[in-house]
Structure 1
Amino acid sequence: MEKLFKQRLHALIAEASVSCTLPSHDMSNRPIIDMLAGWLEQKNFTCRTQDIDANKANLIACLGSGEGGLVLSGHSDTVPFDESRWNSNPLAITEKDNRFYGLGTCDMKGFFAVILAAIDELKLDSSMLKKPLIVLATADEESSMSGARALCAADLHHSRYAIIGEPTGLVPIYMHKGIGMQRLNIKGQAGHSSNPSLGNNAIEAMHAAIADLLAFRRQLQEQHQNRAFDIATPTMNLGCIHGGDNPNRICGSCHLDFDLRPLPGMELDRIHGELNQRLQGIADKHGVELSLEKLFGGVEAFAQDKNSELVAWAQELSGHNPQTVAFATEAPFLKKLGMQTVVLGPGSIDQAHQPDEFLDFDQIKPAVAIVKSAIQRYCL
């Protein structure tokens, strides 16, 4: 099993599948989807490819029939990488210090190798299953979440339980914050800087808008708190700003990109509408054109009842109390399909999205054992 695990993990890592909002960095995930489908078809899974666009697809692989059962879900993409910052080849498995190094080892191609190892050890056959087992591999989790959004139209046999194998150190996660990314555009009027009356400075209007954004952040943090989170309030980060082109020209346009991470119970669309209404007052006051656009569809906050059957089982089996995290996952989309959902997988989020990403050896066998137990409980 160990040799086969390594071979599969190496094959998954070697096939680059970056998703990125920059087209120059974005890649197809179809080779990964085809690879997983091939492995699962050998184990008598019925595999269906759900097209997202010409280069992107989800995999929905099912063993068994009927309704209910278990979904094991992961995303097939990784973030972009700078090979010059790695101490080993990011697109190959390197064994060192009782770890597998490589891009996607923990976030989260390693989970697919764990699933396959669990299926091997159980020697699964469709005749053994009382409820179906579904393996999902999604596209673009690291960028647009387009794969997870498409799942909302998929037939998942009315599955009742879902485990998303994001790197949580095998700690069950029952709640996480959401994320929205927005761009504030301000259009003023360029002109010669020697005479301010010749133009309308977009940077000065942005200065007022930033002050209002920070006031809105304080308001949200006063109104919304959840002590289950390490950071108990919603957060807003002003990430990047661009405006103007020369010191001796009145700035004609400026835009600011920022993110917002709401707590469960806070709706992104409602926040967007409220914020847009507030900012229009600044546009009127400064005589500029102002627009607030979403950079992607956003991910709502996720909350599964801490006392639900799945979370209680995950706590008992893992030996860890359920926790919360600030990062977003595909969990809200699966929960929307009516499934009890928990985020639970090998590896640490601390190693994700950075050079020399790794998966500790000591996470692998416990992860396989958890997946085996989940299949036995909810499918056999």
Structure 2
Amino acid sequence: MSLPSFMSMYQQLIAAPSISSMDESLSMSNKGVIDLLANWCKELGFECEITELSGPKGRFNLLAKRGKGDGGLMLAGHTDTVPFDDSRWSVDPFKLNESDNKLYGLGSIDMKGFFAFILQAISELDESKQSQPILILATADEETTMAGAQQVCKHSNLKPARCIIGEPTDMTPVFTHKGHMSTAIRVVGRSGHSSDPERGLNAIEVMHQVTSRLLVLKQELKNKYSVEHFVIPYPTLNLGHIHGGDNANRICGCCEMHIDMRPLPGLSVQELQAMLLNIAADINNQYPDAVSVIDMHEPIPAFTGSTDSALVKLAEKVSGERAVAVNYCTEAPFIQQLGCETIVMGPGSINQAHQPDEFLAMEKIKPSQKIISEMIRASCFHS
């Protein structure tokens, strides 16, 4: 077997479903994608290690390495995709479709396609001139728990000097981003007949107090914290979902709200969690054990990078773009724990991520390929 063409790799990656979702009925194994990548990596002389994650069965990471020792460059990405709404797609999401100078498919830019780019780039470089290790990391469940990246960052023998995470940034280097927290705030009251309010505790009324305090916290976060690199320079708090009660003539016995928070670099997940717990504690002084605060997934910390790092400066030089800060989050804060300089930079536009008819603009293929090749050459090859 020889390495397939760029378009063939792209097509095979898209054709291997690997959806991850908090709804387990929608989730799939990513083993098909991992096996494809492992076979192609072996064709290029990489040693491959496939590891099954703890937790739900069928989730795998791939770590491939060519070259000895520590250091070098790791090229990282996730193999899973978000679920899709079939009624909103005009093409088969699992069949690479070329139309209007675009490549359509689920994962075309978020982010299975990145692996086709890096494998093609490596295949075109002279292996005899490789002077530093090249590593390829393919993870599971980025779109849900980031369990794959969280497992990798505990790898004691993994010590690359640099890492590029190929999320879609239109090849603009990203040196920092916000984190992400999804939190459920649950109020448990006492139900009863609405004709006698004193015999119950209305969870909706207690949630009104919670909501008032959350809106105060939202404003305090906006006033107190700011990082100028971000278009939205403050931490955000969004009241995203609420449900409670079952009938107009019953005292509501339970009410639950789901909120989204985006911590800035320098503001830890633990600090934000403490702020929420303080709100709950204040109200629980009046209504004992009525309010609980529950993480809906493992919180993702902010990614804190520097524009002064050698990798950022190289990426700016090669891409011709200044490094930026973004509001969405990636696996970078976990990968960074390996001690490597880390950036996020990959082909495709983030505007297409998680959208129906996700696509890669074909005119971006050659310039993106050139940048990726140059980043690998500059990090791992002698001239």
- Does the TM-score normalized on the shorter chain lie above 0.5? yes
Distance in 2, Cα, partners of 1:302 & 1:290: 31
For the 8 Å contact 1:66–1:157, the answer to whether it is kept is no
Q: Give the TM-score of the pair, scaled to structure 2.
A: 0.96
Instruction: Give 2:177's aligned amino acid.
Output: H
**What corresponds to 1:191 in structure 2?**
192
- Calculate the aligned-residue CA RMSD, in Å: 1.6
Specify which of 74, 80, 83 is matched with residue 80 of structure 1: 83
Q: CA deviation at 1:274?
A: 2.5
**What corresponds to 2:102 in structure 1?**
99
Q: Give the TM-score of the pair, scaled to structure 1.
A: 0.96
Instruction: Give 1:22's aligned amino acid.
Output: D
Q: CA deviation at 1:157?
A: 4.0
For the 8 Å contact 1:212–1:279, the answer to whether it is kept is no
Distance in 1, Cα, partners of 2:102 & 2:261: 34
Which runs of 5 or more structure 2 residues have no equivalent in the other structure? none
**What corresponds to 2:17 in structure 1?**
16
For the 8 Å contact 1:205–1:288, the answer to whether it is kept is no
Q: Which runs of 4+ in 1 moved over 2 A?
A: 283-288
Distance in 2, Cα, partners of 1:139 & 1:3: 23
Distance in 1, Cα, partners of 2:34 & 2:369: 21
Q: CA deviation at 1:114?
A: 0.2
Q: Secondary structure at the match of 1:130?
A: coil
Q: Secondary structure at the match of 1:302?
A: coil
For the 8 Å contact 2:246–2:252, the answer to whether it is kept is yes
Q: Secondary structure at the match of 1:55?
A: coil
Q: Give CA deviations for 1:213-265 in whole Å, capped at 9, x if unaligned.
A: 11111111111011211101110111111111111111101111111001100
Distance in 2, Cα, partners of 1:246 & 1:173: 49
Q: CA deviation at 1:371?
A: 2.0
For the 8 Å contact 2:163–2:343, the answer to whether it is kept is yes
Equivalent residues, number? 378
Change in Cα spacing, 1:20 to 1:86, as seen in structure 2 (3 Å) is: same
Q: Secondary structure at the match of 2:77?
A: strand
The 5-angstrom pairing of residues 21-36 of structure 1 reads 21-36=22-37
**What corresponds to 2:310 in structure 1?**
309
The answer to whether residue 74 in structure 2 is matched with residue 67 in structure 1 is no
For the 8 Å contact 1:93–1:102, the answer to whether it is kept is yes
**What corresponds to 2:218 in structure 1?**
217
* Identical residues among aligned pairs (%): 43
The 5-angstrom pairing of residues 143-222 of structure 1 reads 143-155=144-156, 157-222=158-223
Which runs of 5 or more structure 1 residues have no equivalent in the other structure? none
Distance in 1, Cα, partners of 2:45 & 2:4: 22
Change in Cα spacing, 1:177 to 1:253, as seen in structure 2 (3 Å) is: same
**What corresponds to 1:55 in structure 2?**
58
Specify which of 109, 120, 124 is matched with residue 123 of structure 2: 120
Deviates more, 1:197-206 or 1:276-285: 276-285
The answer to whether residue 342 in structure 2 is matched with residue 341 in structure 1 is yes
Distance in 1, Cα, partners of 2:106 & 2:77: 15
For the 8 Å contact 1:71–1:136, the answer to whether it is kept is yes
For the 8 Å contact 1:190–1:201, the answer to whether it is kept is yes
For the 8 Å contact 2:201–2:253, the answer to whether it is kept is yes
Distance in 2, Cα, partners of 1:361 & 1:2: 21
Instruction: Give 2:189's aligned amino acid.
Output: G
Distance in 2, Cα, partners of 1:18 & 1:10: 16
Q: Give CA deviations for 1:126-158 in whole Å, capped at 9, x if unaligned.
A: x54221100000011100000010011225542
Distance in 2, Cα, partners of 1:130 & 1:123: 11
Change in Cα spacing, 1:122 to 1:214, as seen in structure 2 (3 Å) is: same
Q: Give CA deviations for 1:77-114 in whole Å, capped at 9, x if unaligned.
A: 00010111101111111111111001010100110010
**What corresponds to 1:298 in structure 2?**
299
